[in-house]
Structure 1
């Protein structure tokens, strides 16, 4: 049944592409092709109006699934949460299963990425993913960002890029902050459920450079019966000189948040009338987090090439209180537990690139070093009642250090054929001091990851790509030395670095005037492994898996004021080692579609519409329990009061759908149920229709 659905999606995607291509051959060409030098690097960008929102013209990427989004589009699309910035990555779905101070839930390429595992996120070269995290490996919390200050988003998918290491197997996104603003920003947003958000930002010339500042205050109760009571504060101070291509920046960021959580709830409790769709079983769940960072980014062009350096220091903390099983393990006081960590993180990235010519072959070479050190003192899991600790499950001090070395060589073999070969070497060291006897110790691991990309064209404004590479993701340091479970049982240490392998066939075309279209067929394999589960402080087995899929992305300028986006993705995820329990990967997403319309410069008016769909997912290995699909629509209408002041109305969940942000299937126990509880779907509902008004003044 699943193969039939997949085949239908594939046939539809190929059919539509062929129809567009046939029509385009008869159409008059109105756009210019990109000119490239002998190394294949672009010299001039095509005069395609789409480039006001995307920098994805021919010759600017090394894979069909690689691209960039500019601040023009970021500022013109409504977003319910900060983390939805990543939905500008085609095929990405961003949801939430808890309070809005917690990292979002991410879905891409057949993955339930949890809070960030296998998708790497960076802000100006500074990693967002947290390894050996209290709640989840690769935890990626973007709540500290101010969307108004994001200048562009560069995204990649797959294991084909030598400069991408840990957590980047499904993809990576690099968010770049602005060095200066065209005008100061003062905005106030009001909405239902006590939603309030105020932003103040500006930049000014100082000492041959630019000084930029940004401040944000956010309050929100949400639609929940137990008010979310978000109290969020963010600040940015940034000094820069030169340009992004030849200059430097020094950035300080601060973030603090506190909230109550309504986590996923059991379906049976809603159907019986015990709670409403927006109710909670444990009303004392919640959390608080903070993040303070100082980062330096530099790019220097000289006669030898380009030298780049990123350095960063981060101090963060998290206290998270959750209760997913209610009264299953502790019928008297409940199953609430706390995950807590205090972290210091240091890092340094250095790279040098230079051109070279050998035997009339133009080359472009790059070598780089990436260093990172994390110190957690401590990271722990505790039994709690109403956020008060009653016992320790485990508490650890962790030191984790890594070094990544990579080299990349690009050769222009023919005017319309170039290759990019890369090699990456990563080495990790783990040092764990645990409260559980037998779990302290040291471990180390290393891995080599080759990469290769072949790029053909352009012919008739169409490029073709073949990509292959291996990658990895790291496991939680606590699992690498663990021999005893918190309950006293015996455990096997996890594999520290888990190998992944991916391949992709793709094409990108601009043959239709005003349209950029890309198509990619991909596969990703993940080796067999043990996983460390942060929620339980123990390991669980996991089998090898394979994901395959197709993506079709389209950006079309119908008129100077009208932009259309259509992204379609289908995937298949299965365990490759047979088991009687089934071979479906729980939570793996199989179909994603998004459609967007952006309208600008219609006199005083502007607006937009966005529709996103993510399909049903298997919730257990035999596929006998599945989630429902979710379709949501956002809309925006704006009016320019004058040249500097505008009023924007954003409508979220336009059609007031009753759907889920996420679904799980597991065992839990409500009060007065039998001792074994029940296995049930546990879901987090999407928020009902809401309207937010934003008044923005530029000064």
Structure 2
């Protein structure tokens, strides 16, 4: 059996023990990055691996996807910035994220298409993350062109309390546990989180965050995997002040961590109820999920300061109130055809978004002064898919799939409909000497904002991808994968800094190479990920062919040491992000950044643990994000000066120390 100890940063350790103590929930956790997949770039991460790495922000859960980088350009209550495979994914466009079966990406969002805010997730309750890259899985639809991640929640966790204290007003308290109903298999998991933080900013962030989870589950097998069910209720509220990106020329005036509008910030809330059932049915296996999400968001931003409104300033509010309803059903079964073994699955997915209202408003110190536009949006979709895996020979397997999606967009009574079909193919050869070869090809898509669709923008934008991959166990404990890929998009979604949203642009093409290696030796573990990509527009234009913000080079190294039964554990990780073109001709580029973090843990007996986390270990002055656009400072407006093009940046936080004490009882 395994005892798992949770802290504010996640699981600190999973240590083997002879027997569980009375009343303690016992789970087994694994961490496997590249196992049992249909592509060299797909894999899974278990809770123990997630726990071993410190997280500065909740959104960094997605950095367990090799080659994916997570940053921020505003307050910590806002969705993060994501980068993968030559994409500046903005807040989630072209990367689909799911939590407990519920889609996280928001369609026709007030701030940006595909907005994906993970702040409602408690890392302590994450059981595993399954990830894919590229548009090759029939079960993935909207926003999954660059890839997808499915975050699964645990059914049981030990009864645990933890508290984290850090610099600059950081405080976090977590209480989590599981109640078992007598001798039955029914379990009730609970989790509560409270967080406060000011950060290094001249204007304190004043984060006030609350999250709560109740999950009732039952069934046979580990976590009900054989025949089980669950009902999950989640609640999240947050409010904060934000220091948005500032131009380089303003550093002398306000400092690196200063603000040009002290009233920027926001409020966010999310409440959800989801339920699922899985088990044998009719000679196969069925999985059913249904969910309802009610969310609200108000973002107050000022990216251009006094460019358009020199007297009052350019602050605006992006707000929405949303109800999402949806569900999916999937059936898997085995069969034979002409003596060949077939693994088949088919499914249907439905989703309905009601956003009433979604709007853009001019504001002064969070006081609304005018309505730029306000809409009522109804957006519905239905997707069906089928996939079949055929074992042609002991060393050759193929997976073919087809997906169809239908959408209806309604904005204040103006309607538009769209459909799309996306084929998929995977060829897997091997293994030979513990080596497999992969070929993947397929079409994907992303939807555009309904407000643009009813005005004539293409509703569903097709993408086409292909990759060649190799995965091998070179020696016991040494696994590596190498992938060469390319992806074309019929239209690019580009972030517009001065408008705080995304807009369709020209067609694009990307290509790149990824190399991921994992080494396990006794109590040591090391992961090395390297990614190189190239992103270009395919249609010529006078301004150039570079895709602004596209990350060209990335490297990460993560090293962990956790002796079995030992009191001490330690870890170190470093991430390098290369320069990016900020304008289409490449004449202005961002600066590269290299950040390191470390953790030292100490266990007091079997129940109590202390962890010291240090972020930005070497106190580097780098940027989380950089843009290039025109703005005008308030002092420039008073002097009658015009706006100026400049690099606008959001700095990484300076060296940050946090101490976590956790106790399993």
TM-score with structure 1 setting the length: 0.88
Please tell me whether the aligned partners of residues 497 and 627 of structure 2 are also in contact (alpha carbons under 8 angstroms). no
Q: Find the aligned partners of 2:49 and 2:394 in 1 and give their Cα distance.
A: 33
Please tell me whether the aligned partners of residues 587 and 618 of structure 1 are also in contact (alpha carbons under 8 angstroms). yes
- Structure 1 residue 566 corresponds to structure 2 residue 528: yes
Q: Find the aligned partners of 2:110 and 2:226 in 1 and give their Cα distance.
A: 37
Work out which of the residue numbers 356, 365, 382 in structure 1 matches 2:361: 382
| Equivalent position of 1:333 in the other structure | 312
Q: Find the aligned partners of 1:373 and 1:248 in 2 and give their Cα distance.
A: 24
Per-residue deviation, 1:248: 1.1
Q: Find the aligned partners of 2:107 and 2:561 in 1 and give their Cα distance.
A: 41
Per-residue deviation, 1:533: 6.7
Work out which of the residue numbers 410, 428, 442 in structure 2 matches 1:455: 428
Q: How far does the alpha carbon of each residue in 1:318-350 deviate from its partner, in whole angstroms, 9 at most, with x for none?
A: 000000000000000000000000000000100
Q: Find the aligned partners of 2:425 and 2:582 in 1 and give their Cα distance.
A: 35
| Equivalent position of 1:263 in the other structure | 244
Question: What is the CA RMSD across the aligned residues, in angstroms?
Answer: 1.5
Please tell me whether the aligned partners of residues 532 and 540 of structure 1 are also in contact (alpha carbons under 8 angstroms). yes
- Structure 1 residue 64 corresponds to structure 2 residue 40: yes
Work out which of the residue numbers 445, 449, 469 in structure 1 matches 2:418: 445
Give SS of 2:336's match: strand
- Structure 1 residue 507 corresponds to structure 2 residue 507: no
Q: Find the aligned partners of 2:69 and 2:185 in 1 and give their Cα distance.
A: 42
Q: Pairwise mapping of residues 477-488 of structure 1 onto structure 2 (< 5 A)?
A: 477-482=450-455
Please tell me whether the aligned partners of residues 135 and 534 of structure 1 are also in contact (alpha carbons under 8 angstroms). no
Per-residue deviation, 1:580: 1.3
TM-score with structure 2 setting the length: 0.93
Give SS of 1:163's match: coil
Q: Find the aligned partners of 2:225 and 2:141 in 1 and give their Cα distance.
A: 23
Q: Pairwise mapping of residues 615-626 of structure 1 onto structure 2 (< 5 A)?
A: 615-626=578-589
| Equivalent position of 1:284 in the other structure | 263
Q: Find the aligned partners of 2:83 and 2:129 in 1 and give their Cα distance.
A: 18
Per-residue deviation, 1:55: 5.2
Per-residue deviation, 1:501: 0.4
Work out which of the residue numbers 168, 175, 185 in structure 1 matches 2:144: 168
Name stretches of at least 5 consecutive residues in structure 2 with no aligned partner: 1-28
| Equivalent position of 1:672 in the other structure | 635
Change (3 A) 1:534 1:127: farther
Deviates more, 1:332-341 or 1:666-675: 666-675
Per-residue deviation, 1:671: 1.7
Per-residue deviation, 1:56: 2.6
Give SS of 1:651's match: strand
Q: Find the aligned partners of 2:643 and 2:258 in 1 and give their Cα distance.
A: 19
Please tell me whether the aligned partners of residues 201 and 258 of structure 2 are also in contact (alpha carbons under 8 angstroms). yes
Q: How far does the alpha carbon of each residue in 1:330-376 deviate from its partner, in whole angstroms, 9 at most, with x for none?
A: 00000000000000000010011110111110001111000000001
Give SS of 2:270's match: strand
Q: Find the aligned partners of 1:223 and 1:368 in 2 and give their Cα distance.
A: 48
Per-residue deviation, 1:512: 1.4
Change (3 A) 1:538 1:592: closer
Please tell me whether the aligned partners of residues 328 and 675 of structure 1 are also in contact (alpha carbons under 8 angstroms). no
Please tell me whether the aligned partners of residues 494 and 532 of structure 1 are also in contact (alpha carbons under 8 angstroms). no
Change (3 A) 1:535 1:289: farther
Aligned pair count reads 627
Q: Pairwise mapping of residues 511-590 of structure 1 onto structure 2 (< 5 A)?
A: 511-528=474-491, 536=499, 542-559=505-522, 561-590=523-552
Q: Find the aligned partners of 1:645 and 1:339 in 2 and give their Cα distance.
A: 44
Per-residue deviation, 1:174: 0.3
Per-residue deviation, 1:531: 7.3
Q: How far does the alpha carbon of each residue in 1:115-164 deviate from its partner, in whole angstroms, 9 at most, with x for none?
A: 00000000121001011000000000000000000010000000110000
Give SS of 2:368's match: strand
| Equivalent position of 1:637 in the other structure | 600
Q: How far does the alpha carbon of each residue in 1:197-243 deviate from its partner, in whole angstroms, 9 at most, with x for none?
A: 00000002125311000000000000000000000000000011121
Q: Find the aligned partners of 1:54 and 1:359 in 2 and give their Cα distance.
A: 35
- Structure 1 residue 683 corresponds to structure 2 residue 649: yes
Per-residue deviation, 1:540: 5.0
Q: Find the aligned partners of 1:540 and 1:351 in 2 and give their Cα distance.
A: 34
- Structure 1 residue 145 corresponds to structure 2 residue 121: yes
Q: Pairwise mapping of residues 36-47 of structure 1 onto structure 2 (< 5 A)?
A: none
Q: Find the aligned partners of 2:497 and 2:73 in 1 and give their Cα distance.
A: 16
